[in-house]
Amino acid sequence: MLVIKYGGSTIRTDGSPDPVIGDIIELHKKGLQPVVVHGGGKAMSSLLEQLGHRSQFLDGYRVTDDVTLKVAAMVLGGDMNKRLVAAFQAAGSAAVGITGVDGGLLTVQKKHHSGGDLGFVGEVEAVNVTLIHALVAAGFIPVIAPLGVDAQGQIYNINADSAAGAIAGALEAEKLYLLTDVPGILHETEAGRELLPGATPALIADLIADGTISGGMIPKVEACLEALRHGAAHVHIIDGNDPHALLHEALDGRGGGTIIRGGELAR
């Protein structure tokens, strides 16, 4: 299976044909079994702002109070999830939208952070992939919103990269693709800010420590490491704004971006 995390910063919400969805359908037709995990952080921030609620982040994780949790359920589990499923439908492919709450997919506990209380932010404790396997076996593309539930039935907001990393690990997916709004991990070189084509966990730790990797890139690389720890063969951060980068990368390794492997430095 291929797990594809589609970031909210690049998801089209204007109804125009979405090349990423076209690519995912193409991969499905070729028998590659894609599983989609989506974000929607940008749409959440904009609705929260309309409600007069300020968004606050700690290392890329949104501090989630009661209001924010409601907005997460509405935007991620509702609007964003159904828009994506409708876009798959319009492009001629059957997708089924679920959240991590459905079928016991994502059991979480409250995530603790050294920088302060994150509120209702979940850290994935257990993944039950039964529902994903059932949907894939029936020919559907699962489209998953990053919400989870704890043992007491409390719903939590999960960073979409973290949810995708945990799901890719549990599925022992051959590949995890994280589609975002930058070409990959960028770093300073003598020639200026450039794409880092390959990285190892050790290099990533150095880049977080020296501040090169910050904000929304932190949950992304943490998700990559989590998926690698659980047996994903490699993970790849690619540009969701580059039309067909996903298809090129999945079919012949020409999509660009940053590959992260557990072993030696890639490429």
Ligand X SMILES: CC(=O)N[C@@H](CCC(=O)OP(=O)(O)O)C(=O)O
Ligand Y SMILES: Nc1ncnc2c1ncn2[C@@H]1O[C@H](COP(=O)(O)OP(=O)(O)O)[C@@H](O)[C@H]1O
Q: Using CB distances below 5 to 8 A depending on partner kind, what does residue 72 bind out of ligand Y, ligand X, none?
A: ligand X
Cα dihedral sign, 144-32-250-17: negative
> Does 253 contact ligand Y by CB under 6 A?
no
d(CA 226, CA 231): 9
Smallest distance from ligand Y to CB 34, Å? 17
Q: How many CB atoms lie within 10 A of CB 112?
A: 10
256 binds ligand Y (CB under 6 A): no
Which residue's Cβ has the minimum distance to ligand X?
39
For ligand Y, the closer CB: 5 or 175 = 5
Closer residue to ligand Y in complex, CB, 109/212: 212
Tokens describing residue 126: 């257990």
Q: How far is the CB of 84 from ligand Y (least distance, A)?
A: 14
In this chain, which of 34, 40, 77, 183 binds ligand X, going by CB under 6 A? 40
With a CB cutoff of 8 Å and minimum separation 6, the contacts of 29 are none
Which lies closer to ligand X via its Cβ, residue 101 or residue 206? 101
- The residue ranges of DSSP E strands in 160-252, in sequence order, are 175-180, 186-189, 192-195, 198-199, 234-239
Residue ranges of the alpha helices (H) in 172-213?
201-209
Binding residues: 40-41, 62, 157
Q: Find the binder of ligand Y among 34, 216, 256, 257 (CB under 6 A).
A: 216
Produce one character per residue of 121-137: b if its CB has 16 or more CB atoms within 10 Å, e if not: bbbbeebebebbeebbe
Does position 20 bind ligand Y by CB under 6 A? Answer: no
- Phi, psi of 246, deg, nearest 5: -60, -50
Q: Using the minimum distance from each CB to ligand Y, give the nearer residue, 128 or 212.
A: 212
Closer residue to ligand X, CB minimum distance, 93 or 99:
99
CB of 252 to ligand X, least distance (A): 27
Q: Is residue 213 a contact residue for ligand Y (CB under 6 A)? A: yes
Residue 44, contacted partner among ligand Y, ligand X, none, CB below 5-8 A by kind: ligand X
CA atoms of 180 and 250, how far apart (whole Å): 16
Rounded Cα distance, 103 and 95, in Å: 16
Q: Summarize as ranges the residues that interact with ligand Y (CB under 6 A).
A: 7-9, 39, 41, 161, 180-182, 185-186, 212-217, 220
